[in-house]
Amino acid sequence: MDVTPLIPVGRQIIKGYGDLGFTIAGVRWEGSVLVFSDRTVPWSPISLAEVTEEALDAVLKARPELLLLGCGPIMTPVPASIRIALRSGGIKLEVMDTGAACRTYNVLLAEERSVAAALIAV
């Protein structure tokens, strides 16, 4: 029995990460990225210290129910201002290392959840 989830065409499945980039929906992206169910866009932060409310503007505009923040090779707490800005936009935040964020994003996308990922390249 095949238990591979059926993913609708055009969904942004993360196939790999590392070497300071990602492979998403068959395309190699260099550097950090924002991943939404229907598109991936370059993202400027290269460390958690560079993640600001302004850096998350595209996420706030897209309004997913959940944002997975992949903060690099290890999980690091984020400033309260980031959590408050997302919460005020109705977005829940889960912070984890980038690898865990990639895997979790794929699972939630397969479940057709409203999810986005902000991924700092490792």
Mean pLDDT by 10 residues, the chain (122 residues): 62 96 96 98 96 96 98 94 96 98 96 96 98
Query: Is the sign of the CA dihedral 9, 65, 68, 57 positive or negative?
Result: positive
Q: CA 78, CA 26: separation in Å to the nearest integer?
A: 31
Question: CB-side exposure of 26: number of CA atoms within 13 Å?
Answer: 3
Report pLDDT for 9: 75
Q: Which domains does the chain have, with CATH numbers?
A: 14-119 (3.40.1230.10)
pLDDT tens by residue, 38-53 = 999 999 999 999 999 9
